[in-house]
Every structure is written in C-alpha cells, then in structure tokens.
Structure 1
Amino acid sequence: MTEHRMTAAIDTSLVTTAAAAFSVLCASTAFAGVLADSRWVFPAVLTVLTVAAIGVLGRKLRWPLTATAFAQLAGVLVVLTAQFTEQAVLGLLPGPAAIGELGGLLSAAGELIRTGVPPVAAEPALQTLVCLGLGVVSVIIDVIVVGLRSPAVSGLLLLCVFAIPASLSETMLPWWTFVAGGLGFAVLLASGGQHRRWRSHEDREQLTRALFGPTTASVAGVAGVIALLTGVVFTGVGTEGRLPGAMPEQLGGGTDGIGLQPFTSLRGQLNRDREVELFRVRGLREPTYLRALTLRKFNPERGWELEGLTQGVEANGELPLPEGTDIGEGSAERVEVQPVGYRDPWLPVFGVPRFLSGMGVNWRYDPAAGIVFTQTNQESRAYIQQLIVPDPSPDQLRGADGPLRMAPEYLDATGIPPQVTDLARRLTANAPTAFDKAVAINRYFTDPRNGFRYDLRTAPAGGGDALSEFLFRGKRGFCEQYASSMAALLRAVGVPSRVAVGFTAGYRDGDERVITTEDAHAWVEAYFPGWGWQTFDPTPLSDGRTALPQYLDSELRPEQQPVPAPGQELPSTPPTTDPAPGDERPEDGSDVAPADPRETEQSSPWPVVLGVLVLGLALLAVPGVVREVRRRQRLRAVAAGSAGAAWREVLDEFRDRGARPAATDTARQVATRLLEHHGLDESGAKAMRALVTAVEREWYAPPGGQPDGSLPETLHEVLNSLRRGAPLDLRSRLFPRSVLQQLRPATT
C-alpha cells in the first residue's frame, strides 16, 4: 500500500501551469531562425513566467477563470511597459504615454516584418511584438490546459507559434527548435493526460513517473518527427523572408520603389552580438567605401528610402558611366571580391564600376543610382570589378559647373523642418560653392567641439521629428543619423544629395582586406556637374575605419573651429574644450587610431543576470516605493500646516499594522479604537489626542486660522510611539497594506 505523505504531495495545478509555460518557451525557440541575436530571449522568458505566476496566484486566491485570464493579460501589458517604454508610471505601470510608445513599437515591428530579410536583428520593436504574441499565447494555453483541462487542444496553438517564423524563413529552421517544441508538447500532454485520476495534490513520485516516464519519451519522439515534417512543409511554402504580399515580385519598377528599408539590415549588422566576416577583397590599393545601394527619397515620417530604381542594364560586362558623369578621371583598379557570409539582393561595388564579371546571372546595374541588384535573393559568387576611384582636387570640385544632369528628386527638400533649413543656411553662409557648402556641413558633424558623439545605442528611425531631435538635442547616434542629417542639410541649401549604404574598407589581412559586420556603414554622396557623385562622411568615427577621399580629408584637416554664420551661434550645447571620450586625436593630427575595439569586445552573461536581478528587485520594491512617495508628500504638507495630511499618514501607519478604521467613524472615535488596540505609550497617546484636536479644528473651525506650528512634532511623536510599540516586520515594509488596500492615488 502506497503511503501519501503531505510533505511529498505536490499541487497538480502548479505542475500543469509550469508545463504550459515550458511548452510555450520551447515553441518560442523557433524565432531563433528569423532573429539574428538573442536579445529577445530574456524579455520573452520574463513575459511567459509572469503569465504563469499570475495564473498560480489567481488559482490560489480562487479567482474566476475569466478574472485570472484578464489579470494575466494585464500582467503582460505591465511587463511590456516596464521593458520597452520610457514613460511608464513609476517606471512600471502603463499610462497613456506608455501605451502610445507600445503602439509605435508595434507599428515599427510591422514595418520591419514587411521589409526586412531574415535573420534580422532583434530590435526593441520586434522584441515587443514577440513578447506580446507569446504573452497572449501563454494566457490562452494556460486557460486551455489548467482551466479547461484540455492540453491536447493547445497543440494547434503551439503549431501556430512555429508556423509564423517557419513561413518567414528562407531556409529550414534550426533542427533543435523542432526537438524543443516536441519535447515541450510531450511534457504538456503528460502533465494533463491523467488529470481525471489525479487529485488536487498528488504524490511526488507518481507525478515524476507520469511526466518523465517512457510514455512521455515516446510522445516526445513522435512529436519531434511531426514537428520536423511540419517545419519542412511550412518552409517550402514560405515567402522568402517576407509576409505574403509585402514585396513586389521584382525589385525594379519605374518610380514605384521597392518597399525596402535598407537601414533595417544595416542596424542588424551594427547590433550583432558577434563579428561575422562578409567579404575578402584583393587588389584594393587604398581604403575605399564599398557601396551596396543609395537612397534618394527623404520621407519625413520614415526617413530615407530607395525610389526610382530602374531595370538598368545587364551587369555582366562593360558598364556605362553614372548618369551626369562626364569626367572619368581617377585611379583605375581591378579588385576581386569573395563574398563569405553575405546574402542579399544588392551586390556591393567600389567607386565607379566600369566592368563586372563572375557573380552569376540575373544581375542588373542602374547607372543613375549606382546600384547592382538582382530580382531574386540569391547567394553571391566571387566577382571581379574594374573600377575608377575618383580623385578630383578641391579646386576642381569648386569649379564644377554646368547643368545638373540627374533626377530632380535628388534636390527634393520636401518635409525638411524649417529649423533644419535655417541651420543649413547658417552653416553655409560663408560657403560660395556647392563643394564649400558640403565641406562646411561635413565639418559641423566631425568637429568634436560641436558636441556630436558616435553611439551605437541611440539609433531611432531617421524621420522628420528624429532629424530635429538629433541635430538640436540628442547629438548621439550612429552612421544612420549622421548620413541622414547631412543629406537633408545639403538639400536644404540646394546641393543634390543621397544617402549611400554599404561598408567601410575593413582591415588588412596579408594581401587581402577583410570586411565584416563591424564595417556596416552609411555615408553621403553629393553631386557635382561633370564629376558626378562624390563621397562625404559626417560620422565622427574614432576607430580608424573612416576612408575619406583626399579632396575631403585635405579640407577637413586644417580646420579645428566650428563654423557659425556671422553674428549667430550654432544651435548646440556649449562647446567643450576637449574632445569627448573616444574622439581623441593624436597631437600631431595624424590618423593613427586607437586599438580596434573589435579585438577587445567580449560578450558576457552578466548584463542579463544583472538585468534579471534589477527587474526582480524593482518589482518587489514597487509597493514600498509608492508608500514612501505618499509619506514624503504628506510630510511636506504637514510642514505647511495640513493636519489632514498628518491624519492620513497616521491612518496608513495603522493600516500597515492590520487596522481597518471605519469610514463612517469620526476622527475621535477612530483614535480611541486605535489607542485601545495598539497600546501607544503615554507620550504617544497624548500626541494622538493633540493631533485629533488639530484635525477637528481644521475640518470644522472657520477658515482663516493660523496653522499649528507644532504639528510636525506632534505627528513625529505619534509615529515614534507606534513604531516602538508595534514595529513593522519585513513583509509589511515591502508590501504595506495601506497601498495594497487602497486603489486611489495618494492625496495630501
């Protein structure tokens, strides 16, 4: 006969709740196939565990099933607010501003899904969407498995979790995600398969045998096979990394654009957890930027976009000069490019390409945009490029004159805010030529005295509002902000401009140059009659990766001062006398860069661990923080003579100790009961009576009386007496009853 001991019994609802959360987390591993880094993992785990914890609490307190589900959904909202918004109430609770932030993030996530090519970086917008989806799925599965006791039904929902990333991925999802999903579903079935025979508390050994016995292993194996087959099917009918209908069949199409936000993948390159090699280049004599594509349309809401890409010409063979370029002078070079970890519909090229070969079929070249592209996302082969690296002198560019033989859209300044236009005019007030204007604007960003900082962690989308925020207040960002801003400033003063996206020249390895994800970059190209599009780079990099052309480097080097318009100040923070950390240059003015940060950066688990600890402590501290905020508000009011604020503080102190004063009692009746139950000493009782008198005088006496100057001392004596006679334990200090019982905000 089996003896059931209470010490060995386990609440079976806890088991099924844990199994439900475990199955969702196992299914969520499928997102590893479409997200390039693991930043989404911790927020997702926290969201799912929050749903499980609230479910346990609701069943412990015997809440109705619907009430528990609504509480879980509210918990998901709180977790999203705390993790992804900056305007949460008390840093945790969702208010109107925080809800608006979440809405903006979800909209941005939709755009990233529509335009991005997986795997994409796990940006906060995508993290928000993933956590929201997993949170809702967790609530539904918790209701099905624990509330309705139908675990098998939840398999359909878990399959949907797999179907979404499987349909978005171009290739098979990682095999281990299917194994994890099968294991999670098997444990879920085992946790509820015997619910009709299990009691509310069951023997620990019996539960262990049911959950991890041979039956579960068999189910896990079958589920894993089914999951693998399902993954193959969904991948086969996928949409090549995009939702159906999100992308035209062809990349080119007149002036319709292509619906791609190029900075989506660029951010992914910049924010990767590890460095990935992309290209190896032979034959490049001097460091030169490797251009993947150019953007000509400025959208005030969405930033810079590709527009007007034509069908161009066949890329294999001799190529025409870019539109509006008559002068083919420069250094002629032949380079061999070997793609390593690169897969994209854009084939990067150096300088002005004149001949291409070896990359395969179906590649086109648009001379106006300077872009080599394909209509299908195919693996890039090694290719050979013959090119010209233009080397005009500053005087030649100053003297460049003639018709602007390029599309008028490159001059379109629609949507540029008036204050940005005003800044551009003041910066170029003393610049007589288009080249001088470009140099002046470029210098404004790179001169450390003007306060701009290169920062990978501050990179919102380059829309109109973001443009003003960056130029006039933030002044922190990476190349996206700098290139977007300079191109807009150039157009504001009539200089044709576009944003180029690609890579810096990487680092030398023997007779090759190695280009990695660390070299992803954006810069500006300005048009000069005859010479065509010339490179400018406003990003103040300090790691030696900048590859400025000689005409720009010679102009920026001598100048060390800001360039305000006559009689006006630049709209910047007060100049600093020393460069910001990371922007230092050697005293001799050379380009010797500090050690490459890529050699010293190491990933560490400690940020995640610390994040978990900080968030846990923050959650625990919320009730106590609210209580302390109320106390401080009231003490300030008491110092100003408010007896009512002192009375409310005393009542909350008693509530924290378990007292529940009746709302219908007078202050004198309440004080009498409190004195009887909590036994204040003689000085405390005397102070309590004096406080009641002051309260009654404030409530009932004619207005206009003088405030009681001894009120703070009276309150202090009451509280000290209460704390001496009935000190609060740790639980009451962390979770004060006065906060938990009252839903209304504190008043003073």
Structure 2
Amino acid sequence: MTEHRMTAAVDTSLVATAAAALSVLCASTAFAGVLADGRWVFPALLTTAAVVAIGVLGRRVRWPASATATAQLAGVLVMLTVQFTESAVLGLLPGPAAVRELGRLLTGAAEVVRTGVPPVPAEPPLQALVCLGLGVVVVVVDLIVVGLRSPAVSGLLLLCVFAIPASLADAMLPWWTFVAGGAGFALVLATGGQHRRWRSREDRAQVTRALFGPATASVVGTAGVIALLTGAVFTGVGTEGRLPGSVPEQFGGTEGIGLQPFTSLRGQLDRGQEVELFRVRGLREPTYLRALTLRRFNPERGWELEGLTQGVEANAELPLPEGTDIAEGDAQRVEVEPVGYRDPWLPVFGVPRFLSGMGVNWRYDPAAGIVFTQTNQESRPYVEQLVLPKPTPEQLREAHGPLRVAPEYLDTTGIPPQVADLARRLTADSPTAFDKAVALNRYFTDPSNGFRYDLRTAPGGGGDALTEFLFRGKRGFCEQYASSMAALLRTVGIPSRVAIGFTAGYRDGDERVITTEDAHAWVEAYFPGWGWQTFDPTPLGDGRTALPQYLDDELSPAQLPAPVPGQDEPSTPSTAGPTPGHERPDEDTTGAAPVDPRETEQGDPWPVVLGVLVVALVVLAVPGVVREVRRRQRLRAVAGGAAGAAGLAWREVLDEFRDRGARPAPTDTARQVATRLLEHHGLDESGAKAMRKLVTAVEREWYAPPGTEPEGSLPEVLHGVLDSLRRAAPLDLRSRLFPRSVLSSFR
C-alpha cells in the first residue's frame, strides 16, 4: 500500500515550475498580433525549456534562490548565443565576438520596433529580442511562483507581456491570445492555492483535482471574459510610423474618418525621434506628396473624408481629376520607396497619370485625387508617372466656367457668420477667384497679422475652435491653418478641400528623403479647367514649404524669399529660424557628401539589454524595499510614543518571526504566540525578558482602561527582542530580499 502511494505521488515543485513556464508561454501568444509569422515560437520554447531545466537542477541541489536565478539568466544568454550567433566559443559560450553580434541583432530589433508597422516578419533580430524578454520574464516568474510561492504576484509580469504587443498593434490582438493568457494565469493560481496544504510530494489525484477542477475552470472562464473585454477597449493604440488613419468600412460616401488623419498627423510631428518614411528618386523639384483629401467640414470635429467612391483600377492609365481639362505641365517619372510607412492611402505627387509596382487591389478616385486600397497588404516600392501643372497667375485669373465638382466642396454649413464676414473683408479688393485665394493665403503668412506656427494651439476661450483660432488664438498647427483657410475660401464661393500628406523632405544625393517631420496639411482650391491647385497658409519657418510658382510669385518676397538665381538647392534643408520639432540636418558647407540621417540614428544595443535587466532587478527588489519601509515607519512611531505604539511594536516582532517561517495561529493570544516563538527560535535570556515586557505592554494597551500610561521603555524593549532574535536566528539572503511577511499580503 505504501509503495502504491509513493508511485502515485508527484513533486509539487515540478508542477509549479511547469505551470509558471506555461503561463509565460500562454501570455507570449500575444506576439502573434504583431509578428507576421511563427518563426519566433521554436526559439522561445527552447529558451524557456533551458530556464526551466536550470531552475529544476538548482532546486534539486539546493542552490540559494539568488544563485538559481543567476544561473537561469546565464542560461538565457547561452541560448541566445547558440541560436542567433556564429561566433560562440566552442559553439556554446558567449565570448566578446558573440556579445557584439547579439548587440547588433538587438540594435536591429530596436530599429524595427521604432519604425516598423505591425505585423512585421519575425526575422532573427526580433526573434532574439523576444527570446531575451521572455527568458527574463520566465526567470522572474519561476522565482515568484516556485521559490517564493506567491503565484498571484506573477500576474503583474504576465500583464506586462501582454502590454508590449498590445501597445504596438494597431488593432485588437487575436481573441484566442487573451483566452490563452487567462488560462495560463489560472493554472498558476491553482498550483499556488494549495501550497499551504501540499507537501513536497503530493498525491497525484489531489494535484489533478486542484489543477483541473471546477474552481480552476471557473477562473479560466472569468479571466478569459475579462481579458477579452479589456483587450477590446485598450488594444486599439499603436506606435506605427504612418500618417492617416484607417480604411473606412464603406466607400459609399456616407462614412467619414473624423479627426483621425489630423490625430495621426499630430502624432507624427510630436515623435521624439525622426523616422524615415520614403525615399524618392526622379523628382526634379520640391512638391507636396498628397495622401488623401477631406471635403466635409464638421464644426464640432473638423474636416472629414466623405464621398470616396470605388473609383477606377490604379494599375492602369489614370483619368484626369474630375473637373480638370488642362493636362499641361512638367511630365515626370518618379520612383517611391516606402521605408517606414504603411497605410491604405498611397501618396502621390501632382496629377498622377500612371501607377505601377504597388501591388493589386489599389483604386484611384479621380474626384478626391486619392489612391487607396481596401485590403491589408505590405508596402512596396512603386513608380508614378505624373504631371506637375504650372499655370501662371494670369491663367488662373482667367479661369472661368462651370464648377464641375461636387457641390459639397462649396458647403458652408457650420461656418460661423463672423468667419464669413472676415473672408469678405479680406477679399473685398480682389477681383478674381485667384486673387481672393492669394489674399486669404497672405492673411495667414503675413507676420503683421500675428499668426504663429506652434504644435500646440492657444488656450480656448469657450467659443468654437475655428473662431477661437482666427480671432483670438492665432497660434496653432498646420491643421488649424489648413482648416481655417479652406473654410474661408468656401464662404467667398471658391470650392476647397484640405489635403493631408507630406512636404518634399530633403535631398540626399540623387534621392529625396521624406520623414515623419514632413507630415503636413495644406489647402487645395478649384479653378475651372485647371482643377485643384495648391495653397499653403501655414507660416513654416524651416524651409519646408514647397509653394507652386504661381503662388510664390504673388506672395510677398519678404515672407517667402525666392531662391537666388543660379544657386543650387541645398542637399539638406536650411536651419535658419527652426521651428521647434522640425530641426533638420545642418547644411554641409564643406562640399562633402551629405551624411545619411539614418547613420546618425544608430542606437547602442546595450540600453536595450540593460533596460531589461534593470526592470528585472527592480521587480526583484520591491519586496525587500517594502519590508524596510514598514520597519522604519514602525520604529519611528514607537520611538516617538505614537498612539498604539505597543501594537505597532508587536506587529513588527510578528513580521520578523514570519520572515523566519513562523506562522502564528490567528486564534492564539499574545502570550501563547510569544511562548511558541521563544521556544522555536531559542532566544537568549535578555531576549526572553524583553519579549515578556513587550507582551505586558501590548496587553495593557489592548485591555487596560482608557488613560493608562504607556510603557515608557517600549523602544528599548522592542530593540531588545529584535537584537536577540537576530543573534539567535539570522536571516539568510533570500529571506532578506523576499520577506515572507510582505509576500503573504499578495496571497
């Protein structure tokens, strides 16, 4: 009978170890939402298995918890070296060359995280980063669940594993990842819930009932529901380097995208680092790169995309924009390579006539001038054949005829009367539509009118945003300038829309580089025959504006100086008078080749490694810090004679005994607890005497009538008990780092 019971017993530490590792792997399924393939799974499994094996070995040979954790971290480094480097010593050990190789891999992974748009291919740099992160998490969770027997605390780390891909994804993570994460955490809770009753070896049937019984099933179901609800609410936030929003669900002209384009645009300009988005070859002169246009003005939410149709196939010869008859201009062929950009809107220069290379399922709407897709696909280099119209001011002044565009481009609904009055006053002396548009553009760029470019708008005064900006604030982002001028144009009878895209960037050899710093909004006004023409009211002071010649000729040279004849365009943008948030590389005055900005952004790999290690050390240090803070607060209160000082001293003594493994019964009196503790730890005579005095002081405080004088020598009594206890039973390193009195509060 005894032999049968032994064969049916299992090692409960192995059960907890397996549950801890499985919980981390379940949480790691969240990376399926940001990694495009599963090549990271097998390396992550191998790394996890190595950590588990070292943990089991360390506990079998009775290593201290700190030594076991250190060996596990070393195992993570060895597994990274074996799987991702070719310079390992003896094919296994991480020598200096292997460490440098790992550093380069992690640097590449950090760059992908900074600039990539999920889901991204699970290339070796990302595999190494995932294995490093999961390996460290498995070490800490293993220590908490098995070494400290506090499985509930591990939920904080498992939540962090979910938080990283959730913050990078631009959509909700797959639903099954939340269910898997909840199931893994429930399994860990089930192993820990029995620790106060389980022995080192326990009956297999009892373990099975604890792990897979009704209670665990209920926790799994509840955790899954909560995780799904939480994910639906909080995982719509992304960090991808792209311009405007998402594909509308319907392209029938009834659905708008609200402020999403402007929200994304502001996010680009507010980034801490400049991210390269496009490289362009063949563009002979600076001009704007248009991603989409907005035609509906909503007084509460701003400009919205409306009326986008199915258009025509983009991989073919494209028709002229709606309402455009004149196709004169500079014909060009440009090659655009998306680097850190992916979006359902394909940016184009000028009037596109033919597009190729971007893949299938792209459409072109001639009315809106937008190239878009309704499918999720990777960005590819594409070629655009285009025409840059170059009408003269005289030709635009003479542009007459029917306005062959949708009447919505003249809709003034929601524009306040005082805004319309301002537009009429500003254009009172302008005889033609072109002169009116120039007058309105000049109103914003003339410094004497008080407008100033700023990434933050002026504080509101309670009115609508348009009126506040035009009449009081006069400080804002390109959103405010483009929105305001487009509204003013409509009130004087000129069809207008807001365009979203990029300025022309800067030259790098024979290419132009467009980055997140070039994200911009401007205005397009319609002229019969010539179609939509560019105006830009934003008073940029960093040389990024690329005005068409007809507008540059009409605006004051003092505001927008024309290039000096015969002077080449600088290879990097001018830095004279930079606007905050738009600093550019300095112009090379030595004649040397310009430095690729990407070379100046190469990061040191060690911050990534050190950051992971620092987080792990902080998590490990928390219990000890909490215990020390409690101790100091109690000692200070006892020394100061605070109310309830004897009770505080008693709680401090109980916590010291709990840190040494004692568990006083809740029903025991203070004298019974003191007697058992004295016998168990063998305090010397001075310690026993101090303990009896402390118990007397506690009983007097708890049971004596109100007004009884407290024990005057209480601080000395408390120190006598603590000093004797430390002499009789000094704490080991594990108990000091992870005090049981603190960890028990998480159970």
- Give the TM-score normalised by the residue count of structure 1: 0.50
- TM-score w.r.t. structure 2 length? 0.50
Larger Rg: 2
